[in-house]
Structure 1
Amino acid sequence: MSQAVPAAPEAAVPTIPLGQIAPWAVFVGLVALTVLFFVSAGQGAVSFPAGDAVHEWVHDGRHLLGFPCH
């Protein structure tokens, strides 16, 4: 004789309105683009701290990611 297997309870998936996600998505996107600029293209010409401090901070990471900087 076979026994009936009880059905697994369904998990409720919460929904998040797009209006709550959009501002955070824009903010994270802008931060990501800023970081990408400083790591890939920023040579110190456009830098918040004067000089080439940002360039020196990301120098090794730049080579690791394959971006030329010399």
Structure 2
Amino acid sequence: MAQSVAPPIVSAPVAPAALPIRAVLPWAAFFGTLMLLLLFFVGAEQGATAVFSGDGVHEWVHDGRHLLGFPCH
């Protein structure tokens, strides 16, 4: 039985494409603002800083608040 060995295929390294900062900055600002808003609702949406009256938001984020270490009782 004859076996042939093919030479290894060598390819040139491909450089990653550079992303311009002007393309990334609006998305970074959007997601940063979204994360700060989420952090506010999980961590501070109760009492004097409440945006919505009642305990609705507090009850929705209650377990996440304890998971992230925010006291609420």
Count of aligned pairs between the two proteins: 67
CA distance in structure 2 between the partners assigned to 1:42 and 1:67 by the alignment: 11
2:24 equivalent in structure 1: 21
Cα deviation for residue 12 of structure 1 reads 2.0
CA distance in structure 2 between the partners assigned to 1:6 and 1:26 by the alignment: 43
TM-score (norm 1): 0.75
Cα deviation for residue 49 of structure 1 reads 5.2
Q: Which runs of 5+ in 1 are unaligned?
A: none
TM-score (norm 2): 0.73
Cα deviation for residue 45 of structure 1 reads 5.4
Q: Deviations over 1:19-52 (max 9, x none)?
A: 1110000000000000011111111655565422
**CA RMSD between the two structures:** 2.1
CA distance in structure 1 between the partners assigned to 2:59 and 2:48 by the alignment: 13
2:43 paired with 1:43: no
Q: Which runs of 5+ in 2 are unaligned?
A: 1-7
2:13 paired with 1:10: yes
